[in-house]
Every structure is written in C-alpha cells, then in structure tokens.
Amino acid sequence: MLHQIFVAPFVQMATLPDFFLQVLWEGFVGGVLYALIALGFVLIFKASGILNFAQGIMVVFAALALVWLYEIGVPAYIALALCILMMLLLAVGVERLVLRPLVNQPDIILFMATIGLTYFLIGLGEFIFGGEPKVMITRQLGIPTGSFELEAFGGFIIIQQLDVAAAVIAIAMVLVIAVFFNRTKIGRALRAVADDHQAALSVGISLETIWVIVWFTAGVVALVAGIMWGARSNVSFALEIVAFKALPVIILGGLTSIPGAIVGGLIIGIGEKIGEIYWGPLLGSGIENWLAYFIALAFLMFRPQGLFGERIIERV
Amino acid sequence: MSAPETAAAAAQEVLLAVDNISLSFGGVRALRNVGFNIRKGEIRAIIGPNGAGKTSMLNVINGFYHPQQGTITFKGETRRDMRPYIAASQGIARTFQNVALFKGMSTLDNIMSGRTLKMQTHFFWHLLHFGPARREEIAHREVVERIIDFLEIEHIRRTPVGRLPYGLQKRVELARALATEPDLLLLDEPMTGMNVEEKEDMSRFILDTRDQFDTTIALIEHDMAVVMDLSDRVAVLDHGELIADGTPTEVQGNERVIEAYLGVVH
C-alpha cells in the first residue's frame, strides 16, 4: 500500500514522460482558467474589501447570456459585444443598488449581499435562459477547435487548439489587467480605495467610479472565463462548481494579490490534475472535488496569509 | 509679527462660512446651530473638550457628514451640504485624527494620489505609459517633489508608509493633502502623539504652508500652547455648541471656555 502511494506514481511519471507532459499541460490550462476566475475575486476584494460570492455565478451568467443571444439569432460577435455591455450594466446596477446603499456597513453585510446577488442571478438566469445545458458557440467566435500532436520523449502529446487559445487569451488578459492596475492613475486610485475609503474620498477619488470599473473588469474577466470553460465542457449552472474552485486558489494565492491568483491557479490546476491521474485510482474517483481544497489547506499551514497575501501585522 | 497679520486677515474675504449647522446621529446631537467663518489666509483653530463635535464639524465641511440643518458657503457658493468629491475638487483637503494613509503604497505614491483630480489625460495613455501621460506624470512628479522637499521627507520617498514612525506618517499625510493644491486645508489633530521637537517641526510646516502655498488652514488641536501660538482666531465647541469665537487672547479669558475645560462647581 505504501509502495502504491509513495513509489508507484513516481515510477509511472518517469517511465512515461510523454504522458506526464500531457498531464502537466492539461493541468496548466486548467490552472490558467482557475487563475482567470480567481482574478475576478481578487479585483473586487482589493478594491472594496468584499469577497464577491457572486463571481462564480457571473461566469455562468455571462456564458449563458452569450449562447442565448446567439440562439435567438444575434450574430456571434455582436452577442459578445452585447454581453460586455451587459457586464457594464451589471456593474453599474450592483454599485447603485447594492454597494451604495450599504456603504460603510460591516464587510460581512456586503458579503451577504453578494450571496443575495448570486441567487438573484441564478433565478434570473434560469428564467431567461432556461435550465438545460447549452453548447458554447466556440467556432462562431473564431476560437480554433482542432487538435495537433507534439512529439516529445519518443511519444506524442495531444494538444487541443482550444486549450492553447484559452491559455494565450487568459495570459494576455492577466497581463493587461496587471499593467492597468499598476501603471495607470486609475490603478493608483484603486489601490488607494483598497487601503482607506475615507482618505481616498478626501483626495477626490470617486468610490462609485472605482467600484463600477472594478466590477466591470471582474465581469469581463468572468465572461472570458465563462467562454473558455464553456468551450471545454457545457454551459450550465453546473459550471458554478468549477467557478468555486477559485476559492482555494485565492486562499492559496492571498486574497489581495494578482500574482497570487496566477501562481495559486497554476499550483491548484497542475496539482489537481497530477493528483487525479496518478493518485486518483488509489483513492477512488471524486478526488478532483476535494484535492484543490486539500492543497490550499496544506499551504495555509505554513503561510496563513497565502503565498503573496499582505502580511497582517498589528502594531501595538 | 502676528498682530498685523491678524489685522490683515480681518480685512480679508471669508473663504468658508458655516451657518446654523445641526447634526445628529439618532438621538445624539453632535452639533447644535453652529456657525462661524474662516477668512482667506488665516489659521483658524477649532478647540474643545473630547466629544465636543470638532471632528464632526470637519466631516461636515468636507462632506463626509450631511447636517440635518444649516448651510455651508465655500468660495461664495452656498450649499445645504457638501459631497467629498465636490469638496476635493473645489479645493478642500484634509488630514485625519488617526492617520489615514494608503499603507501598502510608498510615500511617493501616497502623495501622487493627491494629484488624482489634477490629472486630465485619458487613462488609455496611462495604460501605454507613453505620450501625453508620460509628460503629465513627469509634470506632476515635479509638483510632488517640491512638496517632498518642503516637508523634508526626501529620505522616505520609496518607503511603504505602513513602516514609517507615526510622526513621519503625519507628515506624509500633510504632503498628500498639499499635493491637491488646496485653498482650505483641514488638519485634524496634526500633532497628537508627537514629542516637543516633532511638534515644533509641525508648527513650522503649518506656518510655512500658509505663507508659501497661500493656503487657509483650519486645525483641531488639543495642545493649547500650540493653538495660542499658531492661530489667528479660535472657535471653541462644547457639547456640540459654539461657546466662544475670537482671537486666542479673547478666548482664553472667556468664562464659558474656562468652565468647559476645567469644570465649575454649580
């Protein structure tokens, strides 16, 4: 038994390196997508101190809306543009109807409000788009769907073009957001709001504008994540489970860190895939449902603030 | 030196006037029918025992609190209440009782955040960090560097402010407020927790700020020696009411003030 746990999987990795590489690649793609979802959480948490419970459902909602629009006859790219507009309206709506009335309330109340938002979006989504799973309009959006083979270690790795596209888009998106929030005056304003609301107000930073920008960015990130995940499976509310995989990612990466979301995403994505393939048969299936949380917990024992989180030191 | 200045200030126009301000939170009345004005170029102290409503008054002036009654007249425009954004864009800046800095950011970034409203370039250029945005960033850096020189904080430019000692944090906070190029600067207890030497430095900075940056200053302070030295006029609040208003000497001799501070056996 010990042999099976501690030796056999590694022997397997070493003897079939091409297969191992394939596992790594799939883990990497999964990780990049987790990172993309986690990024949505981190953006909102940084700017407003709220853990946005609705981030996962925003992913599903955006993807469903896109497919639904296409189904009722809107051309794919126009549907995409409409979805981006919809995320903007959602951001404005959330700011007006949820954040503004609750400003200065304890964080837990705002968190509860995002739970409310989650169920509102689920209800609204099922009402408009129906409950049955849909197929993502991958090809119509111009995302390649074929696959090709790479030769490595005397074997072949099969790479889906879709996965390559997902990785490239996600990485580009992360870079743009990182530059945006580090280099621009809006980024500085965002960090200011994250640190101290009152002080930010006193230098003339508008909380409302910053919140709308952040929720809109998180919405667009959700849309992209929804398209990519949807293309890999189906688009349905079951995707929400996947979206919640972002929770261990942000716990691991640190709630306030964009690099943390990326590295956390990759660790969870790759760790989960390796665990599933090599140890999964020993522990029974279903390992992918809890392994991510296990990895996050294991890391937390050593770094309670997450890998890149801000260390909380109270000066007494 | 202070006497002719006071006379000059008296002749000058009123920059801000609050009239008949009442503010309550539920049953608690924080301010009752308070009215006073601040003249252009003066240093105006607001004093009073703890809980007298001093900070509430500043919060009303820069729009954090909206009074139930009364008006605020700034630069000749009368309003029912202020909004923080309007206050900031009209030229009111402030510091806070318990230093409110952006702790994760460097001194430089903190002060640069004070330039937010002065930056006009579209954020698209900032994204590219190129063209007009670059020129603008450089221009604003020059202003900020001047303030850094003025407050003698060159050596902590790159330090995250969370790591600075309290006295320096207060100075960075003042620098951020100055970066907004305010016409009216509200200082909420700028010298609490400072030793004598630091207080002297801060007093010098406050006086120099008025003289070099043409800024009108309203400050809340508990140290009476400082208040008497610095201010042209003093408003005294007690239990949300204005109980005295005048020059430091006038206020010092006022019976109600002595009563409020020392307590009187009835």
- The domain spans of chain B are 1-91+183-266, 102-181
Q: Search chain B and give the residue with CA nearest A175.
A: B127
Task: Please name the member of B119, B127, B177 whose beta carbon is closest to the beta carbon of A180.
Answer: B127
Contacts of residue A203 in chain B, CB cutoff 8 Å? 88, 93, 113-114, 116-117, 176-177, 179-180
Rg (CA), chain A: 20
pLDDT tens digits, one per residue of A92-126: 999 899 888 887 778 889 889 999 999 999 899 88
Taking the CA of residue A206 and the nearest CA in chain B, the distance in Å comes to 7
Cβ distance of A183 and B112 shorter than 8 Å:
no
Cβ distance of A202 and B119 shorter than 8 Å:
no
Grade residue B129 by pLDDT with cuts at 50, 70 and 90: low
Taking the CA of residue B86 and the nearest CA in chain A, the distance in Å comes to 8
Percent helix, strand, coil in chain A, to 5, is 75, 5, 20
Judged by average pLDDT, the poorest of A194-208, A236-250, B116-130, B233-247 is: B116-130
Sign, CA dihedral A128-A131-A132-A133, equals: positive
Question: What pLDDT is recorded for position A240?
Answer: 75
Q: Search chain A and give the residue with CA nearest B177.
A: A203
Cβ distance of B113 and A186 shorter than 8 Å:
no
Taking the CA of residue A232 and the nearest CA in chain B, the distance in Å comes to 32
Cβ distance of B85 and A204 shorter than 8 Å:
yes
CB contact at 8 A, B109 and B162 = no
Contacts of residue A204 in chain B, CB cutoff 8 Å? 84-85, 88-89, 116-117, 180
Whether the predicted pLDDT of B16 surpasses 90: yes
Contacts of residue B112 in chain A, CB cutoff 8 Å? 188
Tell how far CA A279 is from the center of its chain. 25
SS3 A41: helix
Task: Please name the member of B100, B113, B177 whose beta carbon is closest to the beta carbon of A188.
Answer: B113
Considering only CA atoms, which of B231, B163, B159 is closest in space to residue B191?
B231
Whether the predicted pLDDT of B266 surpasses 90: no
Question: What pLDDT is recorded for position B7?
Answer: 52
pLDDT tens digits, one per residue of B142-152: 999 999 999 99
Considering only CA atoms, which of A229, A221, A228 is closest in space to residue A174?
A221
SS3 A124: helix
Question: What pLDDT is recorded for position B120?
Answer: 66
Taking the CA of residue B186 and the nearest CA in chain A, the distance in Å comes to 10
Helix axes A207-232 and A55-71, enclosed angle (nearest 10): 60
CATH of domain B1-91+183-266: 3.40.50.300
- Report the DSSP beta bridge partners of residue A134: A235
Task: Please name the member of B94, B100, B119 whose beta carbon is closest to the beta carbon of A185.
Answer: B119
| CA–CA separation, A194 and A49 (whole Å) | 7
Task: Please name the member of B84, B103, B109 whose beta carbon is closest to the beta carbon of A201.
Answer: B84
What parts of chain A have a pLDDT lower than 70? 285, 309-316
Cβ distance of B126 and A310 shorter than 8 Å:
no
Cβ distance of B116 and A185 shorter than 8 Å:
yes
Burial class (CB in 10 A: 0-12, 13-18, 19+), A127: exposed
Spans of all domains in chain A: 22-143+155-300
Question: What pLDDT is recorded for position B1?
Answer: 44
Whether the predicted pLDDT of B18 surpasses 50: yes
Cβ distance of B96 and A199 shorter than 8 Å:
yes
Long-range (24+ apart) CB contacts under 8 A made by B132-140 are: B140/B112, B140/B115
Query: CB neighbours (10 Å) of residue A169?
Result: 18
Place of tokens 């579209």: B122
pLDDT tens digits, one per residue of A248-305: 888 888 777 888 888 888 999 998 888 888 887 777 767 777 888 888 888 888 877 7
Contacts of residue B100 in chain A, CB cutoff 8 Å? 196, 198-199, 202
Q: Search chain B and give the residue with CA nearest A206.
A: B85
- Its ipTM equals 0.82
Q: Search chain B and give the residue with CA nearest A313.
A: B162
Whether the predicted pLDDT of B232 surpasses 90: yes
Q: Give me A182's structure tokens.
A: 């580090």
Task: Please name the member of B62, B84, B123 whose beta carbon is closest to the beta carbon of A186.
Answer: B123
Cβ distance of A204 and B101 shorter than 8 Å:
no
Listed in sequence order, the residues at least 6 apart from A68 whose beta carbon sits closer than 8 Å to its beta carbon are A128, A129, A134
Cβ distance of A188 and B105 shorter than 8 Å:
yes
User: What value does the mean pLDDT take over residues B72-87?
Assistant: 91
Domain spanning A22-143+155-300: which CATH class is it, in words? mainly alpha
Q: Search chain A and give the residue with CA nearest B83.
A: A201
- How many residue contacts between A and B have a Cβ separation below 8 Å? 83
Q: What whole-number percentage of chain B has pLDDT above 90?
A: 51
User: What value does the mean pLDDT take over residues B114-133?
Assistant: 66
A99 secondary structure, DSSP code: I
CB contact at 8 A, A137 and A70 = yes
| CA–CA separation, B178 and A118 (whole Å) | 43
Question: What pLDDT is recorded for position B233?
Answer: 94
Any alpha helices (H) in chain B, and if so which ranges? Answer: 2-11, 54-61, 84-90, 107-113, 123-128, 132-150, 166-179, 196-213, 224-230, 248-253, 255-262
Cβ distance of A203 and B129 shorter than 8 Å:
no
Cβ distance of A204 and B180 shorter than 8 Å:
yes
Q: Give me A169's structure tokens.
A: 């888009």
User: What value does the mean pLDDT take over residues B65-78?
Assistant: 92
